[in-house]
Amino acid sequence: MATPVIQFKRGLLANLPGLRAGEPGFTTDSYDLYVGIDSTTAENKIIGSHRFWTNNTSSTGSGVNLVEGTSNGTSYITIKAPDSLAGIVTYTMPATDGSNGQALVTNGSGVLSFTDAASTLTIAGDSGSDTLALLSNTLTVSGGEGIDTAVTDNTITISAEDASDTNKGVASFNATDFQVISGAVGLHTERIQDIAGAMVTGNTETLITVTYQDADGTIDFVVDNDLANYSNTTSAFITASSTDTLTNKTFNANGTGNSLSNVEVADFAGSAIVTEAEGISSNDNDTTLPTSAAVKDYTDTAISAVDLTLGINADSGGPSTVATSQTLTVSGTANEIETAVSGQTITIGLPNDVTVGNNLTVSGNLYVNGSTTQVNTAALTVEDRTIDLGVVNGSAPSSNTTWDLGVLFNYYGGGAAKKSAVIWEHGDTRFKFASVLASDTDGSDNDTPQLTVTTFAPIEIGALWVNDCAGQSQVISCTGTERFLENITVDAGTF
């Protein structure tokens, strides 16, 4: 359940009034919470203050603030808990103060006492020395390149790192591949030559001979220059000259990257082309191509011989047909359907006044553009999800409107006919519920209907939601037999 908000009376500390008994008040400048005793300023009791502690968060511990006498909380000393504790820790302070220069120490059980403490430590290395102030300085042991340092409890560990391409350190080497001389690592040249030679001699070559010369560390490549050893079907070589005639060869111009260009009709055999004089119908085969003139003559002859027949049918009297040489007549029914012909257009429509003696079903949209729509039925069933009120000529208003809108309910009570309503009141710009509607009138121009409420109606609901400047939220809910306020601020004001 979303909880309501209760705001205390609040204001500046200087303006804090005498609070009534049990009345809370919060100072917005010093962050103090007071509770009144008897309506006098002097008797207000401080319950808590942000000045005297620092609140903990999900990642930081809390602390107690020691505020100076003249401060309103802006200057203070904080005694703070660690951000993480394994359990409860209690420190017992000494009963008396220690001597000058002494420090607090613990006995391991949380009991603190004062003791003398060394203040400095002298340190020296292979080069340089320094004096470390124990109470203010930190001793840092840093590793150089290839050296790691670590501190665990009271132990400092210094060790060499593993060597890498970018970092000096400890590394091991395969004597077959590497040689180390005076700390410098190098590759065996013979080892590299043997690896490269094995890669070449272990491979399979076609029409090329590869030989590794171990004596001088070189590789010899010899390509077969006899074109007779190459096949036209498996290589990119064609051994015929450009002036030779290729016989019984198949050119796959449809393959990837293949094409034929500059091929003219005269280059084809005469039997492969059907001309206008020869005619397409007399050359019905799968081995010739027709010219455009032959195609046109054949098409013109075929179209001129066509006689179309149109099949027609209706709700009664069909089916029938009409040929190209006949006339198709579309007739209407008096007072029900009208037909008209103009040029090549047939217009079929309803007369101006239509009376439907029985049921009327409209599968599409129904538009009524008159001034009044009256439905004289005992029951009205509407499947639409929404009802639009106040549209102008079928569209949303395009200028400022001054009329009220609503849904009116007629009933009889108290010896008179009455109306209740749910209305949108234009002047007040809000919805209203009426148990008795005083008037339902139009303005003199019949364009500003006004609805006046005589008696407002009570509203009975199961829960209440509000969508306003604070967003959408529930404000009244119920669980079991109890009602709850949710997302509500009870504001006691300011002082």
Token pair 């009205």: residue: 380
The pLDDT score that the predictor gives to residue 445 is: 46
232 found inside a domain = no
Residue 390: inside a domain: no
CA-CA-CA-CA torsion sign (461, 467, 468, 472): positive
Cα angle, residue 81 at apex, residues 80 and 86 outer, rounded to 5° = 175
Judge whether 452 lies within some domain. Answer: yes
The reply to whether 452 and 480 lie within a common domain is: no
Does any domain span residue 475?
yes
Same domain, yes or no: 468 and 455: no
Per-residue three-class SS string for the chain: CCCCEEECEEECHHHCCCCCECCEEEECCCCEEEEECCCCHHHCEEEEEHHHEECCCCCCCCEEEEECCCCCCCCEEEEECCCCCCCCCCCECCCCCCCCCCEEEECCCCEEEEECCCCEEEEECCCCEEEEECCCCCCCCCCCCCEEEEEECCEEEEEECECCCCCCCECCCCCCCEEEECCEEEECHHHHHHHHHHHHHCCCCCCEEEEEECCCCEEEEEECCCHHHCCCCCCCCCCCCCCCCCCCCCCCCCCCCCCCCCCCHHHCCHHHEECCCCCCHHHCCCCCEECHHHHHHHHHHHHHCCCCEEEECCCCCCCEEEECCCCCCCCCCCCCCEEEEECCEEEEECCCCCCCCCCCCCCCCCCCCCCCCCCCCCCCCCCCCCCCCCCECCECCCCCCCCCEEEEEEEEECCEEEEEEEEEECCCCEEEEEEEEEEEECCCCCCCCEEEEEEECCCCCCCEEEEECCEEEEEEEEECCEEEECCCEEECCEC
For residues 113 and 93, what is the distance between their CA atoms, to the nearest angstrom? 7
CB atoms inside a 10 Å sphere around CB 353: 6
Same domain assignment for residues 442 and 455: yes
In a domain, residue 143? The reply is no
Per-residue model confidence (pLDDT) at position 446: 46
Quick one: 421 and 481 in the same domain? no
Q: How far apart are CA 252 and CA 234, in angstroms?
A: 15
Q: Tell me the two tokens of residue 118.
A: 């060394």
| 157 Cβ contact list (under 8 Å, min separation 6) | 149, 150, 151
In a domain, 55, yes or no: yes
Measured in whole angstroms, the distance separating CA 339 from the mean position of its chain's CA atoms is 57
Look up residue 172 and give its two tokens.
Answer: 């091991």
Instruction: Look up tokens 């065996």; give the residue.
Output: 188
Is 173 contained in some domain? Answer: no
Residue 21 and residue 3 in contact, taking contact as beta carbons nearer than 8 Å = no
Cβ atoms 464, 2 nearer than 8 A: no
Residue 78 pLDDT: 92
- Judge whether 239 lies within some domain: no
Distance (Å, rounded) from C-alpha 437 to C-alpha 425?
Answer: 12
> Are 394 and 377 contacting, i.e. CB atoms less than 8 angstroms apart?
no
State residue 443's pLDDT score.
45
What is the per-residue pLDDT for 466? 94
Residue 429: give the domain boundaries. Answer: 402-460
Q: How far apart are CA 170 and CA 163, in angstroms?
A: 5
Tokens linked to 191: 């080892």
62 and 2 housed in the same domain = yes
Residues 65 and 2 in one domain: yes
CB neighbour list of residue 475: distance below 8 Å, 6 or more residues apart: 464, 465, 466, 485, 486, 487, 488
- Provide the pLDDT for residue 103: 86
Residues 431 and 455 in one domain: yes
Q: Which of 493, 492, 487 is nearest to 5 (CA)?
A: 487
Q: How many whole angstroms from its chain centre is CA 356?
A: 55
Which one-letter amino acid corresponds to residue 452? T
User: Which residue bears the tokens 């102030």?
Assistant: 133
**For residues 472 and 481, is the Cβ–Cβ distance under 8 A?**
no
Tokens of 389: 């009120």
CA dist 421 and 450 (Å) reads 13
Nearest Cα to Cα of residue 56 among 33, 82, 75: 82
CA distance 170 to 459: 86
Residue 375 phi/psi, 5° resolution? -115, 110
Total domains in the chain come to 4
Tens of pLDDT, residue by residue, the chain (495 residues)? 677 888 899 999 899 999 999 999 999 988 889 999 999 988 999 888 888 888 888 888 889 988 887 766 778 899 999 999 889 999 999 999 999 888 889 999 999 999 887 777 888 877 888 888 776 788 888 877 778 888 888 888 888 888 887 788 787 777 777 787 887 877 777 777 777 777 777 677 777 887 877 777 788 888 877 766 766 555 555 554 445 555 666 666 666 767 766 666 566 666 777 777 777 777 777 777 888 888 888 887 777 777 778 888 877 777 888 887 778 888 877 777 888 889 888 898 888 888 877 888 889 888 888 778 888 888 889 888 888 888 888 888 888 888 889 999 999 999 999 999 999 988 889 999 999 988 766 544 445 568 889 999 999 999 999 999 989 999 999 999 988 888 888 888 888
- Which has the closest alpha carbon to 283: 297, 263, 268, 266? 297
